[in-house]
Structure 1
Amino acid sequence: MLSQQIATIVAAAGGSGHEELAPLIAPPLAIGAIMFALLMVMLFITLSYSNLGKRHEAVEEHVDPHRQHPNKHDHGQGH
Structure 2
Amino acid sequence: MLIQLSSAALMAAEVAEEHAETSPFVYGGVIFAIFMVLMFATMAFTSLGHRHEAVPEHVDPQRQFPNKHDHGQGIPE
Q: Distance in 2 between matches of 1:46 and 1:25?
A: 34
Bigger radius of gyration: 1
TM-score (norm 1): 0.55
In structure 1, the residue matched to 2:56 is 60
TM-score (norm 2): 0.57
Unmatched tracts of structure 1, length 5 or more: 1-23
Identity of aligned residues (%): 55
Whether 1:30 and 2:16 are equivalent positions in the alignment is no
CA RMSD of aligned residues (A): 2.3
What is the CA-CA distance between 1:78 and the residue it aligns to? Answer: 2.2
Q: Distance in 2 between matches of 1:34 and 1:64?
A: 51
Q: Is the alpha carbon distance of 1:77 and 1:25 closer, same or farther for their aligned partners in structure 2, counting shifts above 3 Å?
A: farther
Alignment size in residue pairs: 57
Q: Is the alpha carbon distance of 1:25 and 1:38 closer, same or farther for their aligned partners in structure 2, counting shifts above 3 Å?
A: farther
Unmatched tracts of structure 2, length 5 or more: 1-19
Whether 1:47 and 2:43 are equivalent positions in the alignment is yes
- Give the aligned residue type for 1:40: M
Q: Secondary structure at the match of 2:46?
A: coil
| Structure having the larger proportion of residues in helix | 2
